Amino acid sequence: MKDLLELLTKALVDNPEEVDIKETVGESIIILEIKVSQDDVGKVIGKEGRIANAIRTVVKAAAAKQGKKVTVEIITK
Amino acid sequence: MGILNIFGNSDKHNQVEEKKIEDNFGNMVDSDVHLVAKDMLTEILDLMGFFNVVKVVKYEDNFVSLDIKGDDMGRIIGKEGSTLQSLQILLRSILSKKFQKPINVVLDASGYRDKREESLVALAKEMAEEAISTKEVVILRPMNSWERRIVHLTLQDYTEVKTESIGQSQDRKVVITPV
């Protein structure tokens, strides 16, 4: 799940080297935290949250295949 | 990667690798948008745990349409096409950034869009008939721009109703008004 999120986030931002993803795996839930450069926050959120919602939907579909739930949080450095 | 080899996909992967050219800023300067798009989508699906085959259906300078085939189609499409739509939004954004120009991407999965279009056309006609017979306004559920467009186009020749979209972003829906 972390690899997927890393691929998507790095491809969306201007400063891929500053992308940091933390994954906490619980029994039935995975928590993913994306840290990006301040300048890139808009890139991963998008107009009216369109990009952030799309990221969540895609990651959720992947997690559902493993029978898990997932939350994705976006954090500014 | 054995599964992909059956479909001869690995050869195509290599072709894409060879054609990728980056400028000094690491941005793509190549015009092979469709190959990069196919490669990127295949990689995303792989990481999602779906081992599917991505085919380029059509491409122009700033446009590429891709079709996904294989297992897990239900999950890849998602509820009312939400996952397919999300992949499309992300690919558009990723490719537009890579090539530094707006690139339109349309994704389909095993002919899902054709089937969806058929059912939207049927729904639009049915709801227009209802608006005409009851003389009341019919408001459809929130739809994305592609779905709304199909409804508007279907009903543009219906002289007894007019259609318009109301609401903001995710909540935008088509209203059918009898005239």
Give the gap in angstroms from C-alpha A69 to the nearest C-alpha of chain B: 14
Reading chain B (179 residues) residue by residue, the pLDDT tens digits are: 444 444 444 444 444 444 445 555 555 555 589 999 999 999 999 999 998 899 999 998 899 999 999 888 999 999 888 999 999 999 999 999 999 999 999 999 988 988 999 999 999 999 999 999 999 999 999 998 889 999 999 999 999 999 999 999 889 999 999 99
pLDDT at A76: 78
Q: Is B97 on the interface with A (CB under 8 A)?
A: yes
Looking at residue B170, its pLDDT comes to 82
Are B78 and A61 within 8 A, CB to CB? yes
State what percent of residues in chain A have pLDDT above 70. Answer: 99
pLDDT value at position B11?
Answer: 43
Q: Which residue is closest to B44 within chain A, CA to CA?
A: A4
Q: Hey, is A22 helix, strand or coil?
A: strand
pLDDT reported for residue B137? 97
- Short-list A4, A10, A54, A11, CA closest to A32: A4
> What's the mean pLDDT in A41-58?
95
pTM of structure: 0.79
- Compute CA distances B88 → A57, A63, B120, B135, B146, whole Å: 12, 19, 20, 38, 12
**Strand stretches in B9-113, DSSP E:** 53-60, 63-69, 104-109
Question: Is B87 close to A65, i.e. CB distance below 8 A?
Answer: no
Within 8 A of B50 by CB-CB distance, chain A residues are 62, 65
Q: Which residues pair with B64 in a beta bridge?
A: B59, B105
Domain segments of chain A as ranges: 2-76
Query: How does residue A34 score in pLDDT terms, banded at 50, 70 and 90?
Result: very high
Instruction: Say which amino acid occupies B143.
Output: M
Partners of B93 on chain A (C-beta within 8 Å) are: 12, 46, 51
Question: What's the order of all strands across the beta sheet hosting B104-109?
Answer: B53-60, B63-69, B104-109
3-state secondary structure of A69: strand
The C-alpha of B165 sits at a distance from chain A's nearest C-alpha, in angstroms, of 18
Q: What chain A residue is nearest to B77 in terms of C-alpha separation?
A: A61
What is the domain class of A2-76 according to CATH?
alpha beta
C-beta atoms of B90 and A8 within 8 A = yes
